Amino acid sequence: MNFDLTEDRQMLSESLNRYLADRYSLKERNRIAYEAPFSDTKRWGDMAELGVPGALAMEKDGGFGGTGFDIAVVFEALGRHLCPEPFLATLLASRLLSAAGADQSGLVDGSIRYAVGLSEIDAPYGLAGTATTARKQGDGYRLSGRKSAVYGGQVADVLLIVAMLDGKPAVFSAAAGDVNVVSYGMMDGGGAAELLLDDTPATLLLADAEAALTSAVAAGQVALCAEAVGAMTAAYDLLLDYLKTRRQFGTTIGSFQALQHRTVDLLAEIEQARSITIAAAAALDSPEARLKSAMAKNLIGRAARLVAEETVQMHGGIAMTWEYAASHYAKRLVLLDHQLGDTDYCLEIVMQSYAA
């Protein structure tokens, strides 16, 4: 099988990486990532013009991508440059809107920003335990409950919210202005929100939405795996550069055999992560999508933590400083594991799949 990027994907990758390298220096990235609203409207618009939202939407929905490999190309670049813009929310929303056959023109051109309220305090990853409910009222619906860690919710125009309707998960659309949105910054940069729903008006987008939600989460997991690969690669490059320049005992520390062995081990982990991300991307729209994405997320959760820890340890004290990129890569790599299912949750999915 040929895993080389197509010409269109190569062009998108090069354009996006050039843009991010130019506009997201570490200092500028940290300013955006850690100051409310934890996003930059101008840069979001620029990336929309580059075609980033369109690459996450399927052709039948007005986009020009939406496949596993399109998603991987975009998110690997975002991870390499620690971009805090909430494109994960765009991807999840696109998958749900597609399942509902809804218009995505605003999503594709970037003029409408979406966020998806899926997680709850007692149901952080799966649908089991979802307590948010919906009830019919007139021609619409009313939602009650609370959604937690809604990535991109602090800047969303439209919120897609998962709630139980007649005992089954359904997806509702609500204008951000109708929802009590409590915004906050994430520890690794970027923003999220809590959605406090108290008889909140909403429109039914998708009834009996379990299959669509499972598909959307699988796509999100592939995206996070690709983002982790980009971040791990960048952190590894940073480490190699440091080992080649830092001197001790009259020589560069990169000449020490013990450190060489550790860096080779890291490279092996990163290449494994890249390979399993490719496998998950290839299987995204197949019956094995949930299994393959969970396998990838489990492996990469462990590999990303190792890369984060080893990068910090081999750098020494400088890696803990705010002004040096290693600390920010380390935080992002650790926190990636807790989005859309951590290593333990994904391992349970794999074990259940093989036990069935």
CA distance 79 to 236: 13
**pLDDT digit string, tens, across residues 132-165:** 999 999 999 999 999 999 999 999 999 999 999 9
Say yes or no to pLDDT of 2 above 70.
no
**pLDDT digit string, tens, across residues 225-238:** 999 999 999 999 99
DSSP element (H, E) containing 149: strand 140-151
pLDDT value of position 273 = 97
Contact criterion met (CB below 8 Å) for 146 and 181: no
Residue whose pair of structure tokens reads 């994430």 in the numeric block: 186
Exposed/middle/buried for residue 211 (C-beta within 10 Å: 0-12, 13-18, 19+): exposed
CA distance 285 to 272: 22
CA distance 189 to 100: 32
pLDDT value of position 250 = 82
pLDDT value of position 277 = 97
Say yes or no to pLDDT of 8 above 90.
no
Contact criterion met (CB below 8 Å) for 142 and 199: yes
**b/e burial code for range 280-294 (CB count within 10 A of at least 16 → b):** bbbbbeeeebbbbbb
Structure tokens at 117: 């309220």
- Per-chain mean pLDDT for the chain: 95
For 283, list phi and psi in degrees, rounded to 5. -95, 5
Say yes or no to pLDDT of 28 above 60.
yes
**pLDDT digit string, tens, across residues 191-226:** 999 999 999 999 999 999 999 999 999 999 999 999
Say yes or no to pLDDT of 1 above 70.
no
**pLDDT digit string, tens, across residues 108-123:** 999 999 999 999 999 9
To the question of pTM greater than 0.75 for the whole model, the response is yes
CA distance 115 to 77: 21
Q: DSSP letter at 237?
A: H
Q: How many residues does the chain have?
A: 356
Closest alpha carbon to 68 in 115, 135, 5? 5
For 136, list phi and psi in degrees, rounded to 5. -75, 140
Contact criterion met (CB below 8 Å) for 37 and 185: no
Domains of the chain, each with CATH number or no CATH: 7-109 (1.10.540.10), 114-207 (2.40.110.10), 212-355 (1.20.140.10)
CA distance 150 to 192: 5
Structure tokens at 229: 């690969």
Closest alpha carbon to 331 in 181, 121, 152, 185? 185
pLDDT value of position 131 = 97
Displacement of CA 197 from its chain's centroid (Å): 25
Q: Please, what is the Cα angle at 42 between 41 and 45, to 5 degrees?
A: 85
Query: What percent of the chain is modeled with pLDDT above 90?
Result: 90
**pLDDT digit string, tens, across residues 71-121:** 999 999 999 999 999 999 999 999 999 999 999 999 999 999 999 999 999
CA distance 287 to 310: 36
Where does the pLDDT of residue 255 fall: very low under 50, low under 70, confident under 90, or very high at 90 and above?
Answer: confident
Q: Give the chain's largest Cα–Cα span.
A: 79
Where does the pLDDT of residue 3 fall: very low under 50, low under 70, confident under 90, or very high at 90 and above?
Answer: low
